[in-house]
């Protein structure tokens, strides 16, 4: 743009110069020198019009030149400003790039330093590995040398032994084999003698058991089970709250549970009477919850009864499942499991029916194993032979026939159904499983202590009471007193504080309630005594 402006100015100057030259030529004298006349003549020729036109042309050229020069100057200034801005931007970018280059250079230096340190560590590790490999090679060489020395020593010992014994290794081996063979024969003879003696004794035992199979004890069925439950109260004033205003609470309780509630002069106790043991147990739990809560009215009675009913149902299912687990029996219908659990609250001649069924199943399984029969099938027959007793209060008929119908309804094997219906000879016995079921039932019901508490069971109960209390940490001594109605627990005062003593008493009572069956109640007394002894000298 600057060059263009200069060119325009030059063009203007050239035009002006040409105009001046033209004027000078017209006014210049000839070689001989212009005369006054000639000059006058030239002036005359130049008219006023041409001079004016020349002036206007010169002014226009000058104005255009000035305008172009100003435009060129403005553009040149703008270009200069843009160039300065671009230079500043370039300088800023250059500065940024320099900073980035510095950072990259510093990062590269750091990485190079780290790589150098890593290479140094790797070199040191390689040197250590090489040193370790060298040591291992030396150790292997030393072990190989020692192995060779040991082989040589063993060979020398063998040669010395052969020279001393006068036998080669093969001869010594044969002698040792003969000695071991003779010793094995003597031991085998002793073992054979012991086996024969044991077999003779076992044969006698099996003969006794086979005779037991032939024993068929027949007893007339009668109602000898307990139909009364006792609930102990915290005080006699609770009886009035149980009766309620005008007897509304006791009426609501009996109508809700279907159990007769007997409140007499017995101190701190009430009786619950019902022919259905499950219903009686539900009522007992209901009354126990009401007594513990303290709020007794018809609505609370219904709520407590529903909770107790669900709890008893769960307890029945759990008892049935525990019986199946104990006997190793699977795939039984859930309804049969529930009925088995209900027999937990049923007794026959003082014997718990569920325990009687479990015991009969064990006995039947043992006899089936001796006779090489299907042990699981026989155990199943014995376990379900009294299942009808769970419904004898609801369905008319013999419990054997009722149980057979229940088992058939829930898909039990026909041999199981026949064993149930024939275990009291109400149906003619046709299978060996039915005979074994009868025998197991008779043995379980007639064994000593089965249907009454014997001295041995009494002693075992006392021993179990002491074992339960002795199993807790911090207990020093345990005494079962008052015919098993009280347990005195002596604890070490250094290991057990007063709060822990209360916890031990509560835990022992809870475990006794869960594991043992006993009449009345058992008092657990935890004694914690601290003594300080000094001597005056």
Specify whether the CB–CB gap between 291 and 234 falls below 8 A. yes
* Range name among 84-88, 332-336, 466-470, 529-533 with the lowest pLDDT average: 529-533
Nearest in space to 468 (alpha carbons), one of 512, 429, 529, 432: 512
Asked whether residue 211 carries a pLDDT value surpassing 50, the answer given is no
Give the relative orientation of helices 298-327 and 334-342 as an angle to the nearest 10 degrees: 110
Per-residue confidence (pLDDT) for residue 214, from 0 to 100:
34
Per-residue confidence (pLDDT) for residue 258, from 0 to 100:
76
Per-residue confidence (pLDDT) for residue 271, from 0 to 100:
84
Per-residue confidence (pLDDT) for residue 207, from 0 to 100:
46
Question: In whole angstroms, what is the distance from residue 437 CA to residue 448 CA?
Answer: 19
Name the residue with higher pLDDT: 109 or 452.
109
**H or E element at residue 182:** helix 169-214
Question: In whole angstroms, what is the distance from residue 7 CA to residue 14 CA?
Answer: 10
Question: In whole angstroms, what is the distance from residue 348 CA to residue 202 CA?
Answer: 34
Per-residue confidence (pLDDT) for residue 216, from 0 to 100:
35
Per-residue confidence (pLDDT) for residue 222, from 0 to 100:
33
3-state helix, strand, coil in the chain (%, to 5): 70, 5, 25
Asked whether residue 240 carries a pLDDT value surpassing 80, the answer given is yes
Asked whether residue 115 carries a pLDDT value surpassing 50, the answer given is yes
Per-residue confidence (pLDDT) for residue 159, from 0 to 100:
78
Q: Map out the domains of the chain with their CATH numbers.
A: 222-325 (3.30.1370.10), 328-452 (1.10.3210.10), 455-528 (3.30.70.1350)
* Token pair belonging to 47: 């008219």
DSSP letters spanning 411-479:
T--HHHHHHHHTTTSSS---SHHHHHHHHHHHHHHHSTTSSS--HHHHHHHHHHHHHHHHTSTTEEEEE
Give percent of the chain above pLDDT 70: 78
Taking residues 223-227, what's their average pLDDT?
45
| Local structure of residue 245 (DSSP, 8 states) | G
Per-residue confidence (pLDDT) for residue 160, from 0 to 100:
78
Note the pLDDT tens digit of each residue in 20-74.
555 555 554 444 455 666 555 655 555 666 667 777 887 888 888 888 878 888 8
Question: In whole angstroms, what is the distance from residue 126 CA to residue 134 CA?
Answer: 12
Per-residue confidence (pLDDT) for residue 309, from 0 to 100:
86
DSSP letters spanning 61-72:
HHHHHHHHHHHH
Question: In whole angstroms, what is the distance from residue 357 CA to residue 368 CA?
Answer: 16
Tell me the pLDDT band of 318, cut-offs 50, 70 and 90. Answer: confident
Burial of 71 (0-12, 13-18, 19+ CB in 10 A): middle
Asked whether residue 288 carries a pLDDT value surpassing 60, the answer given is yes
Taking residues 505-532, what's their average pLDDT?
83
The average confidence (pLDDT) of the chain is 78
Taking residues 122-137, what's their average pLDDT?
90
Tell me the pLDDT band of 226, cut-offs 50, 70 and 90. Answer: low
Burial of 162 (0-12, 13-18, 19+ CB in 10 A): middle
Asked whether residue 202 carries a pLDDT value surpassing 70, the answer given is yes
Residue 332 φ then ψ, to 5°: -110, 145
Give percent of the chain above pLDDT 90: 2
Tell me the pLDDT band of 221, cut-offs 50, 70 and 90. Answer: very low
Note the pLDDT tens digit of each residue in 345-382.
777 666 778 888 888 888 888 888 878 888 888 888 98
Tell me the pLDDT band of 449, cut-offs 50, 70 and 90. Answer: very low
Name the residue with higher pLDDT: 297 or 44.
297
Note the pLDDT tens digit of each residue in 241-267.
888 888 888 888 887 887 778 887 777
Per-residue confidence (pLDDT) for residue 43, from 0 to 100:
57
């Amino acid at each position: 743009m600057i060059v263009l402006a200069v060119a325009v100015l030059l063009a203007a100057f050239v035009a002006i110069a040409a105009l001046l030259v033209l004027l000078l030529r017209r006014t210049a004298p000839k070689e001989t020198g212009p005369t006054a006349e000639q000059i006058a003549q030239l002036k005359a020729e130049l008219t006023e019009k041409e001079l004016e036109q020349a002036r206007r042309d010169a002014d226009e050229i000058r104005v255009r030149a000035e305008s172009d020069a100003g435009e060129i100057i403005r553009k040149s200034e703008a270009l200069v400003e843009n160039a300065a801005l671009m230079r500043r931007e370039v300088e800023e970018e250059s500065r940024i790039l320099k900073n980035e280059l510095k950072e990259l250079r510093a990062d590269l230096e750091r990485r190079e330093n780290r790589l150098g340190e890593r290479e140094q560590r790797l070199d040191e590790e390689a040197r250590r590995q090489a040193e370790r490999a060298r040591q291992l090679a030396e150790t292997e060489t030393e072990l190989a040398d020692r192995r060779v020395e040991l082989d040589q020593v063993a060979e020398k010992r063998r040669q010395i032994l052969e020279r001393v014994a006068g036998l080669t290794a093969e001869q010594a081996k044969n002698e040792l084999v003969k000695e071991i063979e003779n010793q094995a024969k003597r031991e085998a003879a002793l073992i054979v003698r012991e086996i024969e003696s044991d077999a003779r004794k076992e044969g006698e035992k099996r003969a006794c058991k086979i005779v037991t199979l032939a024993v068929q004890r027949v007893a007339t069925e009668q109602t000898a089970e307990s139909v009364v439950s006792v609930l102990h109260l915290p005080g006699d004033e609770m009886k009035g709250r149980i009766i309620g205003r005008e007897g509304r609470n006791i009426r609501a309780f009996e109508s809700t549970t279907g159990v007769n509630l007997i409140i007499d002069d017995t101190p701190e106790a009430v009786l619950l009477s019902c022919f259905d043991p499950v219903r009686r147990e539900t009522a007992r739990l209901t009354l126990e919850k009401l007594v513990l809560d303290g709020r007794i009215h018809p609505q609370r009675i219904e709520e407590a009864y529903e909770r107790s009913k669900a709890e008893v149902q769960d307890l029945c299912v759990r008892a049935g499942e525990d019986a199946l687990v104990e006997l190793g029996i699977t795939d039984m219908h859930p309804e049969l499991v529930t009925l088995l659990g209900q027999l937990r609250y049923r007794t026959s001649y003082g014997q718990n029916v569920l325990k009687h069924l479990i015991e009969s199943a064990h006995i039947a399984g043992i006899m089936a194993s001796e006779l090489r029969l299907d042990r699981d099938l026989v155990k199943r027959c014995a376990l379900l032979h009294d299942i009808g007793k769970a419904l004898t209060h609801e369905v008319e008929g013999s419990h054997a026939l009722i149980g057979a119908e229940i088992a058939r309804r829930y898909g039990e094997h026909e041999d199981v159904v026949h064993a149930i219906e024939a275990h009291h000879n109400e149906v003619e016995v046709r299978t060996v499983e039915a005979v074994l079921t009868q025998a197991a039932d008779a043995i379980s019901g007639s064994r000593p202590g089965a249907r009454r508490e014997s001295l041995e069971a009494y002693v075992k109960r006392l021993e179990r009471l002491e074992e339960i209390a002795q199993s807790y940490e911090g207990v020093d001594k345990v005494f079962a007193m008052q015919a098993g109605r009280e347990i005195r627990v002596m604890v070490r005062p250094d290991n057990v504080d007063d709060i822990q003593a209360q916890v031990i008493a509560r835990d022992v009572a809870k475990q006794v309630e869960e594991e043992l069956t006993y009449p009345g109640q058992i008092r657990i007394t935890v004694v914690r005594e601290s003594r300080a002894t000094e001597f005056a000298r």
